Amino acid sequence: MGAHRHGPSSSASAPDPEADAARAALVREIAARGAFTDPAWRTAFADVPRHLFVPFFYVHGIRGYERLWGEDPDPERRSRWLRGVYADGALATRLQDGELVSSSSQPSLMALMLDALDVADGHTVLEIGTGPGYNAALLAHRLGGPAVTTVDLDPAITDAARGHLTAAGYHPAVVTGDGARGCPGRAPYDRIIATCTLPSVPRAWPEQCRPGARIVAPLATGLVALQVGATAHGPRAEGHFLHTPAYFVPLRGAYPAAGPLPHLGGLPRRVAGDDLFRFLLTLSAGALDPHEALSLWEREGRPERERYGVTVDRGRQWAWLDDPRGPYTWPLAAD
């Protein structure tokens, strides 16, 4: 795996010792979790200044959301902002009618996803869900700006991200559009990464991939990693979930939203709130009722996420436990 660096251009901001120290501490924390198997990603996280991409964010306060920002004249509040930016947590970056519509993901989760993407020098990447542009900057640092395309539905989000990326000295293609449709004008891609939760895999994504491509995306409170291959009937994508849980802002646009979880009344309290059981409920929604899901889950030894997978083939897609052709499969609603 290559480790070629594409650092920021000379337009990047001047050094900030306090921010630099906070960023170095965050990188050490992520590294301690084992998220950097490719050293190029550690270099990217060390070089890309997250604070340029999150000039403000929102936290829950006594009176609802409270805004913290980097230009606050109160030094204590500015310090809270900087600590939040370089904490290993997700940040709410845009609200609409009181609802969260965009965020900056937890850095250690971003590192895990980028590592799972398994990029190499020369690869082209499509990112779905631009957010503040930080993830696109990490990709551009690793692969170079021309190799990276990032798409978001909201022009206010893409406009802000362009400004952040320019300030940091990175220049990927930032496109305003429906991420469920990919970005055919810049296809084909070697890798696709999504930073928004999906109910299923949009058909356009495998179609815009080269054979051998990889897709990493949040689905059903998990992260699925799909390999794309060519068949006589078109692209086929298949792969397992990663071990880690993942919760993201839902994909917006014309793509159908995930349906609500079924009512959990009558289930034992010890399982109703279990993260792995709720993962199965979300993945099999519409195919299994909660009691059927519980029976399967306990019969199969309360399986971890990595025993599950997804297949996309011939206009159909389905989730499965252990074997895509085995007895435990559930259809996913295709677009």
- C-alpha distances (whole Å) from 280 to each of 89, 184, 227 are 25, 33, 22
pLDDT of residue 257: 53
Confidence at residue 259, expressed as pLDDT on a 0 to 100 scale = 53
Q: Which residues, other chains included, contact 288 with Cβ-Cβ below 8 Å and sequence gap of 6+?
A: 280, 281, 296, 330
Plot region of 122 (φ>0 → left; ψ -120 to 50 → alpha; else → beta): left
What is the DSSP pairing of strand 329-331 with strand 316-321? antiparallel
Is pLDDT at 2 greater than 60 in this prediction? no
252: confidence class by pLDDT, cuts 50, 70, 90: low
Which among 103, 51, 105, 100 has a CA at the least distance from the CA of 79? 51
Q: What is the mean pLDDT of residues 47-74?
A: 91
Average pLDDT, the chain: 90
pLDDT at position 264 over 80: no
What residue type is 316 in one-letter code?
Answer: R
d(CA 38, CA 43): 9
In percent, the amount of the chain with pLDDT more than 90 equals: 76
Marked catalytic residue, from 102, 104, 108, 200: 102
Report the side by side order of strands in the sheet with 91-96: 64-69, 56-61, 91-96, 99-104
State the pTM of this model: 0.91
* Residue of 136, 168, 167, 138 lying closest to 152 (CA atoms): 136
Residue range 39-57, pLDDT digits in tens: 999 999 999 999 999 999 9
Distance (Å, rounded) from C-alpha 143 to C-alpha 246?
25
Q: What is the mean pLDDT of residues 306-313?
A: 97
| Residue carrying structure tokens 């551009």 | 140
Q: Mark whether 102 is an active-site residue.
A: yes
Nearest to 128 by CA among 29, 232, 201: 201
Q: Which pair of structure tokens corresponds to residue 32?
A: 């301690």
| Residues belonging to the chain | 335
Out of 87-91, 99-103, 305-309, least confident range: 99-103
C-alpha distances out from residue 50 to 3, 12, 164, 261, 281, Å:
21, 12, 10, 35, 35
Lowest-confidence pick of 86-90, 197-201, 215-219, 222-226: 197-201
Q: HSE on the CB side for 201, CA within 13 Å?
A: 34
C-beta of residue 219 within 8 angstroms of C-beta of residue 250: no
Could you tell me which residues are beta bridge partners of residue 189?
209
* Interval 223-250 mean pLDDT: 94
